[in-house]
Amino acid sequence: MTRAWRISTVTDAARARIATARLAAAYGVPTLDRTRLTTALSARLRQCLTKGGTWRLVLDGPGHGEDEGLVRVTLTPDLEASAAGEPPWRTSVACAGAPVAIGPDEEAPDDPASLAEALLGADEDTALALDRLAEQEELVAAHREELHQTNQGVLVLHAELDAAGRAQREAFAAERKARTEAEDARRRLMFLADASAVLTASLNHEEIVRRLPELLVPRYAGSVDVWLFDDEDERGRSSPPPAAAVLAARTGRAQYSADHPGRLPGVEDRPPSALDPTRPLLCVPLPTRRAPLGVLTLSPPGARWDPDDAVMLIELTRRASTALDNARRFERNRDIAETLQRALLTELPAPPGLALAARYLPATRGLNIGGDWYDAFRQPDGSLITVIGDVTGHGLHAAVMMSQLRTALRAYAVDGGSPGRLLTRLHDFLHHLQPDLFATAVIARFRPGDPEVTWAAAGHPPPVVRTPDGRVRVLDDKPGAMLGIPLRQEIGDHTVRLPPGSTLALYTDGLVERRERGIDPGIERLAAALGAFGPTEPDADLERAADRVLEPMLSDSERDDDVCLLLCHLVGGARPERIASTRVSAHR
């Protein structure tokens, strides 16, 4: 449906505006859209009246197709305005309902009173729009307050996030500091462990003193001086020790001597040294359970020490003192042991027709003293007893028991008796004397002019014989059990015929036994070494022959047990008698 109005006066414009508003309401245009329509139309009509002329307003109700649901308004100028280039004004609004029939009530009245009343009634839409606007303003105000509260929450959140960020940065800084401190502590502990291993690996106090500066300079000290109280080398010192070192020796407490306080844990601060006032000194006593061994004097690698480094240096000094004390104890005990071992070794006799050569080597670990022994002596009937034995254990106690067994054997041999009988009596002696101590031994008896040799063994490696034709065999006849075991036994004798030029080798297990290979391969190596002799080599030089036996047998760098070897050689033909000799090696 289409409505049209011609507008040339204010009254025409008012009537057209009123009619448009009523028709829009009739078509179901929403209030706000209707108010916008009439407001825009009123503004356009004012412009048209200002320009003058006649204008034509057309309102098309909802149609079909593209116009369905739309109310279109067109304001067209007269011909003169159109000729002047004035374009038509068009607008459209959506309506909620289908096209409706418009009655005469929707037309604007003609009389002024009705027109004025219609104009006043037209403000109802404006009032409704204002009400809606007030509601929107209240809603906006509510939203503004909500937004303000949200902004306040966001600000609080930002403040909390900022505080959390600061706390996290502080935590990261603390973690980095803790990690650095832990790494420094780990570095110090590793150095302390490595340095301790180096110092305790040696049993030579001079080497320990030499290694200390190598370990500490330049990482933890600029210089290192070791002052040992009872060291002979210290008596020729060119300069006296600093006063702080003397005070540390007297009080047993570490001293820090400098022109500034050190504030080091467990260290007393002292004035600078008169000998060198510009150099700080840390003087740490070398403690033992009895009295300090000396004083370690250090200068810092830089201006001063870190307190944790100073604590580590004091601990290292304590460990160095323990290593020095152990080394000195070992050196004293080693000297005693070597003196005792020399006193216990036998000078071998030189009987007619028999040459003897002995070798004794202590273990390369521990004290140079053990339970291995050899002996050779005459019986009243002119027979020569040769014996080699091994007391279980090592050290001074084993050496003392070895000495007692050797003395007991010589005493029993005065009454005569075969090797088996002598070993049986030694077995009873050891069982009653030391029930928890055991020994092994082998005894061979040589009679002047008799080619038969009588021998007996008790738990000992078997003798090895080399005949003049170069053949070697092991005397593996059944031996007796170890001496001293809680078992009654009678040890039997065995005989072997040895022509002149033969060599009988008696030895202890330290010569042939190795922990990773056992004893049998060692006995085979010993037999091979004896078989490698030339036809006349034992006759020519038995000492050289003994050394040649030891060379392939002792190729190992270290020995866990003592080594004892006794070669008994029947001189061949009419060779002159040789003087038997003994060689003892105490070298490590």
Contacts of 387 (CB under 8 A, 6+ apart): 374, 375, 376, 406, 409, 441, 442, 443, 444, 506
Domain ranges within the chain, ordered by starting residue: 2-108, 205-339, 346-584
DSSP secondary structure string, 223-245? EEEEEETT-GGGGG-SSPPPHHH
Closest by CA position to 320, among listed 196, 226, 192: 196
How many contiguous H segments (helices) and E segments (strands) does the chain have?
A: 13, 20
What's the confidence (pLDDT) of residue 370? Answer: 67
* Out of 111-120, 238-247, 493-502, least confident range: 111-120
97, with CB counted inside 10 A (0-12, 13-18, 19+), is exposed
pLDDT of residue 519: 86
* Beta-strand relationship, 294-299 and 223-228: antiparallel
Q: Which CATH class is domain 346-584?
A: alpha beta
Between residues 144 and 341, the one the model is more confident about: 144
Q: At 585, is the pLDDT very low, low, confident or very high (cuts 50, 70, 90)? A: very low
Distance between CA atoms of 442 and 455, rounded to whole angstroms? 7
pLDDT of 20: 87
Contact 43, 55 (CB under 8 A): no
Mean pLDDT of 558-580: 68
Calpha distance 350→307 (Å, rounded): 71
The per-residue pLDDT for range 420-456, each reduced to its tens digit, is 999 999 999 988 877 778 899 999 999 988 889 999 9
Return the closest-CA partner of residue 267 out of 320, 229, 200, 317.
317
Q: Which residue has the tokens 């260290």?
A: 267
| Residue 314 CB neighbours (<10 A) | 18
Closest of 242, 240, 258, 253 to residue 285, by C-alpha: 253
> What pTM, to 2 d.p., does this model score?
0.54
* pLDDT surpasses 60 at 234: no
**Does residue 588 register a pLDDT over 50?**
no
How large is the C-alpha radius of gyration of the chain? 61
DSSP code of residue 107: S
pLDDT tens sequence across 66-81: 667 888 999 998 766 5
Class of domain 2-108: alpha beta
Omega within 30 of 0 (cis) for the link into 218: yes
Single-letter code of the amino acid located at 503: T
Kindly give, in sequence order, each residue whose CB lies less than 8 Å from that of residue 266, ignoring residues fewer than 6 positions away.
Answer: 253, 254, 311, 314
CA distance linking residue 186 with residue 197, whole number of Å: 16
Whole-angstrom distance, CA of residue 291 vs CA of residue 80: 132
CA distance 193 to 201: 12
Is pLDDT larger for residue 548 or for residue 78?
548
Q: How confident is the model at residue 2 (pLDDT cuts 50, 70, 90)?
A: confident
* Contact by Cβ (8 Å): 432, 454: no
pLDDT tens, position by position, 492-510: 999 999 999 999 999 998 8
- 205-339 has which fold? Beta-Lactamase (3.30.450)
- Bridge partner residues of 159 (DSSP): none
